[in-house]
């Protein structure tokens, strides 16, 4: 599917959810399609999944799903939740990380608020020895610089944005690079791109790769020294095959009740096409009834 078509499918599905957000059928359809990509709604369910992954030498990275943050109280609640998640990970013996975003911590309200909340979670993470991944969103270089000074966290950025923040790489020390929109231009281009970014950042996790780029990276005998992050619910057969080839694997473990936004942004494209088709059918059926 062409990139423009992919975006239009997601846009249609997202617009449909907004227009039909009070219709139970919409939530049931989407949940039925993406539930295997979400580790339940509770922290306990996510930790159980993380333990199972750890027993298979797959490093889990837990993320709490939350809806739009519109006030300081919600940002504080999410901050407290992440701090507790860090404690629970450490106490459970899970060898994993936590991923959050500054948007969740209130960046849309006030960047300073988000950075203060981030500092609170970082302090807990350092105390318990749990690594954090943080998506800076659209807060800019000033926030990235402040995050770099705090230490104890790596950044989550798109492959396109990675070079913009490379000057902070020596302080940040790790980067999770999202290849969601990346399409290999020619044979070997995905591997070459990963290698370029690995040299800039050193410790790299490659995430959200499409099947074409992922297959190219897995098959490469001179694979760059990176960790590949797979989506929760990824094919067991394909994952086992990749690990057999020597791939260092991690897995994003999303959990929480506010999963619709995550589904729209992160669910595999094949599911999004089906969601869009289902929602379109519902719209057409309603129109015929009226």
**What pLDDT is attached to residue 116?**
92
Q: Which of 13-22, 23-32, 163-172, 243-252 has the highest mean pLDDT?
A: 243-252
Rounded-to-integer distance, Cα 253 and Cα 50, Å = 7
Rounded-to-integer distance, Cα 58 and Cα 52, Å = 9
List the single range of 5-19, 42-56, 57-71, 218-232 with lowest mean pLDDT: 5-19
Based on the fold, state whether residues 34 and 58 are members of the same structural domain.
no
**What pLDDT is attached to residue 153?**
85
Based on the fold, state whether residues 125 and 183 are members of the same structural domain.
yes
Whether the CB-CB separation of 107 and 139 falls below 8 Å is answered with yes
pLDDT > 90? residue 1: no
Whether the CB-CB separation of 227 and 59 falls below 8 Å is answered with yes
Residues near 180 by Cβ (< 8 Å), separated by ≥ 6? 158, 208, 210
The stretch 232-254 carries a mean pLDDT of 94
Residues near 202 by Cβ (< 8 Å), separated by ≥ 6? 169, 173, 174
Count of structural domains within the chain = 2
Residues near 163 by Cβ (< 8 Å), separated by ≥ 6? 197, 200
Q: Residue 134's domain is classified under what CATH number?
A: 3.20.20.220
More confident site: 72 or 35: 72
Based on the fold, state whether residues 220 and 285 are members of the same structural domain.
no
Based on the fold, state whether residues 50 and 146 are members of the same structural domain.
yes
**What pLDDT is attached to residue 186?**
82
Based on the fold, state whether residues 7 and 122 are members of the same structural domain.
no
Rounded-to-integer distance, Cα 259 and Cα 153, Å = 24
Based on the fold, state whether residues 63 and 30 are members of the same structural domain.
no
Based on the fold, state whether residues 77 and 162 are members of the same structural domain.
yes
pTM confidence score: 0.81
Quick one: pLDDT band at residue 71, thresholds 50, 70, 90?
Answer: very high
Candidates 279, 270, 258; CA nearest to 38 is 258
**What pLDDT is attached to residue 62?**
97
pLDDT > 70? residue 9: no
List the single range of 58-62, 106-110, 173-177 with lowest mean pLDDT: 173-177
Is the CA virtual torsion 74, 75, 79, 82 positive or negative? positive
pLDDT > 80? residue 14: no
Tens of pLDDT, residue by residue over 110-144, are 989 998 999 999 999 999 999 999 988 766 666 67
The stretch 222-250 carries a mean pLDDT of 93
Based on the fold, state whether residues 137 and 24 are members of the same structural domain.
no
Strands (E), the chain: 59-64, 97-101, 132-135, 153-158, 174-178, 203-207, 227-230, 248-255
Average confidence score pLDDT of the chain: 81
Residue 278 belongs to domain spanning:
1-38+259-290
The stretch 203-217 carries a mean pLDDT of 91
**What pLDDT is attached to residue 6?**
45
Based on the fold, state whether residues 236 and 271 are members of the same structural domain.
no
List the single range of 20-24, 93-97, 148-152, 253-257 with lowest mean pLDDT: 20-24
Rounded-to-integer distance, Cα 202 and Cα 194, Å = 11
Helices (H) and strands (E) in the chain, counts: 12, 8
Quick one: pLDDT band at residue 228, thresholds 50, 70, 90?
Answer: very high
CA distances from 188 to 33, 183, 213 (A): 33, 11, 9
- Residues counted in the chain: 290
**What pLDDT is attached to residue 144?**
72
Based on the fold, state whether residues 95 and 137 are members of the same structural domain.
yes
Based on the fold, state whether residues 151 and 290 are members of the same structural domain.
no
pLDDT > 90? residue 78: yes
Based on the fold, state whether residues 100 and 229 are members of the same structural domain.
yes
pLDDT > 60? residue 4: no
């Amino acid at each position: 599917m062409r990139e423009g078509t992919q975006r239009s499918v997601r846009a249609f599905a997202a617009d449909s959810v907004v227009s039909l957000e009070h219709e139970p059928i919409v939530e049931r359809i989407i949940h039925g399609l993406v539930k295997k990509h979400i580790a339940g709604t509770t922290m306990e369910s996510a930790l159980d999944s993380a333990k199972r992954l750890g027993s298979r030498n797959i490093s889990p990275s837990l993320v709490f799903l939350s809806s739009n943050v519109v006030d300081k109280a919600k940002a504080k609640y999410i901050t407290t939740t992440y701090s507790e998640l860090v404690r629970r990970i450490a106490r459970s013996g899970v060898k994993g990380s936590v991923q959050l975003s500054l948007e969740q911590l209130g960046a849309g309200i006030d960047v300073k608020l988000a950075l203060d909340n981030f500092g609170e979670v970082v302090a807990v993470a350092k105390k318990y020895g749990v690594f954090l991944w943080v998506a800076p969103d659209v807060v800019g270089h000033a926030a990235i610089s402040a995050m770099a000074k705090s230490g104890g966290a790596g950044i989550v950025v798109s492959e396109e944005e990675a070079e913009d923040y490379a000057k902070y790489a020596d302080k940040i020390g790790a980067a999770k690079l999202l290849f969601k929109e990346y399409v290999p231009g020619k044979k070997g281009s995905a591997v070459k791109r990963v290698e370029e970014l690995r040299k800039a950042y050193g410790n790299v996790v490659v995430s959200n790769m499409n099947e074409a780029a992922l297959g190219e990276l897995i098959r490469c005998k001179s694979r760059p020294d990176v960790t590949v992050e797979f989506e929760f619910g990824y094919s067991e057969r394909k994952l086992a095959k990749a690990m057999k080839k020597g791939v260092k694997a991690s897995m994003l473990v999303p959990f929480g009740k506010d999963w619709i936004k995550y589904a729209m942004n992160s669910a595999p494209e094949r599911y999004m096409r089906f969601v869009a088709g289902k929602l379109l059918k519902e719209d057409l059926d309603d129109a015929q009834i009226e």
